[in-house]
Structure 1
Amino acid sequence: MCHDCSAEPGPAGTSRRSFARFLAAGAGLTVLTACTPEAPTAAAPSSASPSAPPSPVASTASASPTADPATAAAAPSEPAPSPSAVLPRQFSLTDPASPWLIVNKHRPLVPAAYAPADLVRPALATTASGEAALLNSTTAAAAEAMFAAAAADGVSMVLASGYRSYSTQVATYNGYVASRGQADADTASARPGYSEHQTGWAFDIADGNGVCGFQPCFADQPAAVWAKANGHRFGFVVRYPWMFHPITGYYYEPWHLRYIGVEAATDMAARGIFTLEEYFGVEAAPGYFE
C-alpha cells in the first residue's frame, strides 16, 4: 500500500489496491509476512524510553505517617519525558517548516494548504516528474548524500515520489473516494492536508531495477534494506514501519522515508524506537477523528 502515492493506474497501482483490500479483509498480515520475514524485536519500542522520576508529591505522601492513603494513591505523577527530550536541540512538532513536524491522522498541517518555500530538484536518479521530483532544500541535500553513499556500497536507489501539493492531494484522494468509497480511500491515501509528502520532508524510493515498487516485498530489495540500516546516518527514518500501524495509522511502507535530522534519527536507532509518535511523545493516530 502506498498511503498517499499519486502514481498512475497500472499493474503497480493494481497491486497496491489489492494489497489494501487484503489488509482490510484481515489477510494483509499474511501478505506482509510472506514478503517481510523479519519483524522488529521490540514489540513496544516506547519501553526503551527513560522512566520518569517519582513525583515529589507522591514521594512526600508515602513518607509521611499521617498522609491519607487515598490521597496519596490519587496524587498525579509527572509524565515521563519523551525520548527526544534528551537531545540538545529541540524543534517544533507543529510547524510545517520544522524537521520534527508530526503530521498524521490526528495532526493535520496548519495551514492545510501549506507549501514549502524552498522546494528544489535534487541531483538524484528519479522516476518522478514535475512537482513529484522536488523536495525541500534540507531533505534534498541529505538525500543526495544518502544516495551517493548507497551507490558507493553498490546499491542503486531512485527517487520515486517526492513533494505533492495540496491540490494534487485533493485530486488523488477524491479519485480514491470516487472509485472505492471514503472508508477504503482512507486506507490507501492521506486526506488533503494530512500528507507528509506535502511538507517536502518525505519521499518514496525505489530500486534501480524497479522490482517490487510500492509493494510490501520491496522491504527485501537492496535499496530498502540499505535505507533501513543506514538512513539514520543521513537523518532519515522509515516513517511507517512493520507492525506499527496501530500507532502510525498506516501499514508498512518500506519505501517511505522521512527526514528528521541526523541527531534524532540516530538516537531513535540507538534506542530501538520505531515511530515518531513514540519518540516525540505524541498520541497514536490509528484513524481520523471523523
Structure 2
Amino acid sequence: MTALTACSPGSPAPSPTAAGLPTAAGSLTPSSTATPSPSTLSAAATPSGVLTTEHAPAAETSTAPGPDASSPAPAPTAATPKFSLTDPTSPWVVVNKRRPLNPTTFAPADLVQPRVRLAISGEASMVNSTTAAAAEKMFAAAAADGVIMTLASGYRSYSTQVTTYNGYVNTDGRAAADTVSARPGYSEHQTGWAMDIGDGGGVCSFLPCFADQPAAVWAKANAYKFGFIVRYPAGMQAVTGYVHEAWHLRYVGTDVATAMATRGIATLEQYFGLPAAPGYL
C-alpha cells in the first residue's frame, strides 16, 4: 500500500510550470501582504472562522480514539474556538485536503530561525515567531532529558510546494502525487505553524521507523507541554488524509495541545468537530 505523507522534502525539483496544478492552487506568486502577528489575534481582530472570547474544551464524555486507534470514532463534542479555524495567521487554523489556505498563496509575515539545532538551511529552517519561541523551549527541555532533537524542515513557501508537487506529478501522475505530497496551498508547512523534527543520531529521518527514535518518543510524550501536537497520528489517515508522521509537529498552543493529550483526542478535526478529510474534493 502506498504511504500517504504530508512531508516530502526529498522530492524532484522541475520548473513550477512544468505540469498543470489543480485550480485551487491559484497563482504561483506568494502573497506579500503583511499579516498580523499571531500574538495579537483575538476574537475582535480575526476576520474569519467561528469565534468566541473564551475557549471551551471538548466534552468530558468524548469517545474519541487515542493516537493508535485503527479507525476513527465519532468526533467528540466540538470545542468552541477562541481563534479562527480558517485564518492562516491563527494558531488554530485547520489545514487539510478539504480545507485549503485562504489565500492559497499565504506567506507568514514573521518568519524567524529558531535557536535550535538545525538539520536544514534556507527557508526550511524558519517558522513563525510564536512557533520558534515554543520550539526553543521544547528542544531545551528535550536536551535536559538527554534527547537531542533537530529541526529537519519548517516553513515551505507556496512556490516551493508548487515545485515539490509538480515534481511528483511529472514523475508519477497527479493521482500518485496526491498520495505523497500536499497540493500547493494545502500544506501546514506553508503556515509557519508546523515543523518536522529529526533525531540527533540522524536515524530514520522521514521514515516510519522514526517513531521509535528518542526524539519521536520524547515528543509524543511531552510536546503538548509546549503547545505542539503530532498532527498525523497513527491510525488516523481516514480523518487526516495521511498515515502516521511521527516527525510532523504542529503548534496549536498549550490549551488545545493539553486538552487533546489529556482526553486522548487524536486529531484537530475531531477536537473541533470538523469533517474528516481523507482526500481532495
**TM category, shorter:** 0.7 to 0.9
CA distance in 2, matches of 1:98, 1:199: 9
Amino acid at match of 2:177: A
Alignment gaps of 5+ in structure 2: 13-65
Indicate whether 1:281 and 2:279 are aligned: no
Q: 1 CA distance for matches of 2:172 and 2:180?
A: 10
Say whether the 8 Å CA contact 2:72–2:236 is kept in structure 1. no
CA contact (8 A) 1:45 1:272 kept: no
- Pick one of 177, 184, 188 that aligns with 2:169: 177
Matched, 1:4 2:7: yes
Aligned mates of 1:41, 1:251 — CA distance in 2: 12
Post-superposition CA distance 1:131-167 (Å, at most 9, x none): 0000000000000000000000000100000000000
Give the Cα separation in 1 of the matches to 2:154 and 2:251: 12
2-side partners of 1:39 and 1:93: how far apart? 22
User: Is 1:236 aligned with 2:243?
Assistant: no
- Is the partner of 1:214 in helix, strand or coil? coil
**How far, CA to CA, are the matches of 2:238 and 2:11 in structure 1?**
28
Tell me if 1:205 matches 2:197. yes
Contact 2:114 2:126 in 1 (8 A): yes
Structure 1 residue matching 2:238: 3-state secondary structure: helix
Pick from 109, 113, 129 the counterpart of residue 121 of structure 2. Answer: 129
For residues 3-60 of structure 1, the C-alpha deviation after alignment (integer angstroms, 9 at most, x for no partner) is 2322367xxxxxxxxxxxxxxxxxxxxxxxxxxxx9726854656x3xxxxxxxxxxx
- For this pair of structures, how many residues does the alignment match? 225
Aligned runs of 1:103-118 on 2, under 5 Å?
A: 103-118=95-110
RMSD: 1.7
Give CA-to-partner distance per residue, 1:260-286, whole Å, 9 cap, x none: 000110000111100000001110000
The aligned counterpart of 2:249 is: 257
- Report the equivalent of 1:57: none
Aligned to 2:48: none
The verdict on how the C-alpha distance between 1:238 and 1:46 changes in structure 2, with shifts beyond 3 A counting, is: farther
- Note if contact 1:216-1:252 (Cα within 8 Å) is conserved in structure 2: yes
- TM-score calculated relative to the size of structure 2: 0.77
| Local SS of the residue matching 1:99 | coil
Q: Is the CA contact 2:11–2:164 (under 8 Å) kept in the aligned structure 1? A: no
Distance 2:68 2:90 in 1: 28
Q: Could you tell me which residue of structure 2 aligns to residue 35 of structure 1?
A: none
1:40 aligned residue (60, 68, 85): 68
Q: Higher helix fraction: Structure 1 or Structure 2?
A: 1
Report the TM-score when normalising by structure 1. Answer: 0.74
- From 127, 140, 155, the counterpart of 2:147: 155
Q: Which amino acid aligns with 1:111?
A: P
Q: 1:145 aligns with which of 137, 140, 147?
A: 137
Q: Partners in 2 of 1:268 and 1:39 — Cα distance? A: 10
Match of 1:65 in 2: none
Equivalent pair of 1:236/1:258 in contact (CA under 8 Å): yes
What percentage of aligned pairs have identical amino acids? 64
Q: Aligned partners of 1:282 and 1:242: how far apart in 2? A: 19
User: Secondary structure at the residue paired with 1:168?
Assistant: helix
